[in-house]
Chain A
Amino acid sequence: MSTYLTFRILKGFFVVVLISILTFVIMRLMPGDPVFLLLGDGQISITQEQIDAIRAKWGLDRPLIEQYFVWAGNLLRGDFGESLIRAGVPVRYMIAEAIPVTLTLNAFALALALVVALPMGIAAAVRRNSPIDYVTNVVSAFGIATPNFWLALMLIVIFALQLGWLPPFGLRTWQGYVLPVLVMATEEMAILMRITRGAILELLPQDFVRTARSKGMPDRRVLWRHVVSNALLPVVTVVGFRVAFILSGTIVVETVFALPGIGRLFVDSVLRLDYQVVQSLVVVFAVLVVVVNLLTDLVYALVDPRIRMS
């Protein structure tokens, strides 16, 4: 087990280093100079001397290799550097400020999605072609097909504008979380519902289920002990897989609801060529995905004794 873990950690480290190099190169290949964005969209006259001075201040005048090693060396010491756009603000503060927002949203959304999707998926599979199955199919089709941008705006119109129950944006109170969580949960719910239903439908005709039934085991016990526990494997896979989409999946929701999360920070930083922030965010997420993938594999072992490590 320890050999396996060591191998996976080393492999993960290698992946993160590669990603950091790729991100650095891609960001520098992007045309444009962040200096121009500091000048108020060209409203202030600027001379080449001033541009050079600003570039020198940020170390952008140094060779690219040197820039990479300076950044990577600082990163290994836990120093993410300073934002170019929010000059004076350490990148780690920016990430520390944004991550809780995104993680909270995702945690609540995932919890809500699981609470709703698992029972509905199971019920739909067990009562295939019944009204509950049809409802589940319609709900999951709606969740997958509906653009979250549109859904978010509709919910704002209904619950903020028409009913006045919830704020249209922001996180000033706990009510601010309700609509964004609902929007994010809708898609996840739909996916998990389909996967749960499909997995159970695949397991129900299996021999071990028939055997369990023939032994006189009650249907409910067969379902929970033998079917659902096995059906959880693909669900765990998808949940782990979704972590990689935290960054991209929350961008729209964070923009519409004006939430200062990691998705918005990432997009804004890319558009403004805020190199330090983008590079640091990608590395943080690369580490996160590597760790979660490792944890997912370990959870497999817990869920499925067949692949448990000896």
Chain B
Amino acid sequence: MSPKSKEPFFARRLSRRRFMKHSVYTAAGVFVGSQGLSFAQGSQGGTITWMGHQEVAGLGPNDIGADVQASVIFNVLNPLIHVNHLTDTEMVLARSVTLSDDQLAYTFELEQGVLFHDGSEFTAEDVKYTYETYAEAGNTVASRFTGMREVEVVDKYTAVVHMDSINAAFLRQAGEVPIVPRAYHESVGVDGFRTAPIGTGAFQVESWSPASATVLSAFADHFRGAPLVDTIRLDVVPEASVRTIALLTGEADATVWPVSVEDNLDFMENPDFRVVITNWNSPRHIPLNTRLPQLSDKRVRQAMMFALDRQRIVDELEAGFGTVATSHLAPHNPYYTSDVKQYPYDPEQARAVLEEAGWTVGSDGIREKDGMRLSFTCTTISGDQTRRPMAELAQIFLREVGVEMLLAEAPVASILQGMREGTLEASLFNWTMGSTTDPNPAGTIGTGGGDNFTGFSNPEMDALIAEGLSVVDPEARKPIYERTQQLYAEEMPALLLHYNQGALVFSNELQGLPEEISNSLPIFYRMNEYSKG
């Protein structure tokens, strides 16, 4: 395969089966045409504009965690691999990757002749520098490199990542960290780079105004050919209704952050737009502080699951955009299983389980046990008009079986810290448990995990997590992760509500979008493939 293949961008995908067998991943993969992509070669000019709701605070590797920022960054900087719009692994700057038999060394064969925006050539030295620099504590992406010891430069186009310990999630987590040019990055540092990045991406930064707009211009020497448009632009538009109007007036072509559910329904009937509906990576859920005495008994948590009419929450508050959650992983996650304990809406069953657990109805209708009321506070994000109503509806359902859920609001930073430290009792999230790059069970459901907001601690779960992370073969790991889901559904440290569906709106002016999409954010990573009609 020629390094300068005529196959446009991301033509090469990583086969999980090959990965399973630790074989060399060839650059063969799936051609763009087979993914339903269509575009013409050569620039057709014009500007693609999309909108986000939050400012673009930075443009460096440490900033890829937020969706709006990621939608810009991955057009400027390229990683070695991507988890694409089909949730498959695709080669980007890597042509292939091989895993050693002992699963402790990843050999990356790199694309050749790739240029950074400053004209310097991308080599294995840049991979070594990027990985070792951003693996240092103090970087927000550092934990993606867990288990990495060093990067060896074998030759100009071959880098080997040596691991101290097996980390099954390494490839899909670390592989997505974008590569920076060593010489330039050394001269400006991590913070300097995020304000003026140089990458191998199809676009280079023309202007960056964090709170209003980021404009990128086409990089003609991009290794997969010049983009089809001259410029792309992200506008920061916090108000959802204004994003809707901007789409309708043609001011913007797409939005990376959803508009309101009601507007989605209108767009679905509008022939000028395409609405892409995908499941979010993690279900909406109410993490419970399991360290509290009233929430430490799994029967209480199970009873609350029976008490919640979750389908009604989907119907009334999500306009049907969602399905009742059964697992903490979303259905499009490769490790998902539906073979877990089910909790149909059954208030009588909820009452029976609570009675069995010794919680009897008190004089005010709230259950008590040993002088303790079955009461806790759910803190939602200040001003969150999407999740707050869900908490209010859940409050009503729980009250009907004698559980008191009080409501409070706080800034997101307070909630994250409070749940992490166990000073808050519950919240309402839809993140943390199901990254599409790879499930991160150690951090989210393992004992003492940094993002274990429920304080959940279960020896069997910890053993399964350790086992799962030591098995790189996805097929061999699947039964282990299926068992973690079964155990989670049995213990239910968080009340799983529903898999909400994100609906992103695209103008039909934007041409070349993939036909099939199961993971929506990566659509924005490939703006070079799209043209304006």
Q: Find chain A residues with CB under 8 A from B442 CB.
A: 45
A41 touches B65 (CB 8 A): yes
Q: Which of B90-98, B125-133, B241-249 contacts A (4 or more CB under 8 A)?
A: B241-249
Beta-carbon contact of B431 and A36 below 8 Å: no
Q: Please measure, in the bound complex, the distance between the C-alpha atom of A243 and the C-alpha atom of B284, giving whole angstroms.
A: 43
Q: Within the complex, which residue of B143, B242, B440 is in contact with A47, where a contact is CB–CB below 8 Å? A: B143
Report the minimum CB–CB distance from B368 to chain A (whole Å): 29
| Cβ of B370 to closest chain A Cβ, rounded Å | 30
Q: Is the CB of B138 within 8 A of A50?
A: yes
0/1 string, B170-197, CB within 8 A of A gives 1: 0000000000000000000111111100
On whether the beta carbons of A45 and B418 are closer than 8 Å, the reply is no
Q: Give the shortest distance, in Å, between B464 (CB) and chain A (any CB).
A: 17
* B283 beta carbon closer than 8 Å to chain A: no
Which residues in A have their C-beta under 8 angstroms from that of B236? 258, 260
User: Would A258 and B249 count as touching, CB distance under 8 A?
Assistant: no
8 A Cβ contacts from A176-223 to B = none
Q: For the side of the interface on B, what is the size category?
A: 35 or more
**Could you tell me the distance between the alpha carbons of A50 and B137 in the complex, rounded to whole angstroms?**
5
B144 an interface residue at 8 Å Cβ cutoff?
yes
B413, A33: Cβ atoms closer than 8 Å = yes
Number of inter-chain CB pairs below 8 Å: 177
**Is the CB of B414 closer than 8 A to any CB of chain A?**
yes
| A46 interface neighbour in B143, B190, B210, B435, Cβ under 8 Å | B143
A228 vs chain B, min Cβ distance (A): 41
Which secondary structure characterizes the binding site on chain A? loop
Number of residues from A at the complex interface, CB < 8 A: 59
- Measured between alpha carbons, how far is A109 from B468 in the docked complex, in Å? 62
**Quick check: is A284 within 8 A (CB to CB) of the other chain?**
no
Q: How far is the CA of A99 from the CA of B413 in the complex (A)?
A: 26
In the complex, whether A156 has a CB less than 8 A from a CB of chain B is yes
Q: A47 near B450 (CB under 8 angstroms)?
A: yes
Looking at A66-74, A130-138, A166-174, A287-295, the stretch in contact with chain B turns out to be: A166-174
Alpha-carbon gap, A111 to B108, bound state (A): 63
A88 touches B249 (CB 8 A): no
**18 pairs, CB–CB < 8 Å, chain A vs chain B:** A32-B413, A37-B412, A45-B442, A46-B140, A46-B443, A50-B140, A83-B57, A88-B189, A89-B195, A153-B241, A156-B245, A160-B249, A161-B248, A168-B249, A169-B251, A255-B238, A258-B239, A260-B209
| Residues of A in contact with B (beta carbons under 8 Å apart) | 30-34, 36-54, 56-57, 82-83, 85-89, 97-98, 153, 156-157, 160-161, 164, 167-171, 255-260, 264-265, 268, 270-273
**Other A-B pairs, 7, CB within 8 Å; known A40-B140, A42-B431:** A40-B65, A50-B138, A164-B249, A168-B245, A264-B238, A271-B382, A272-B413
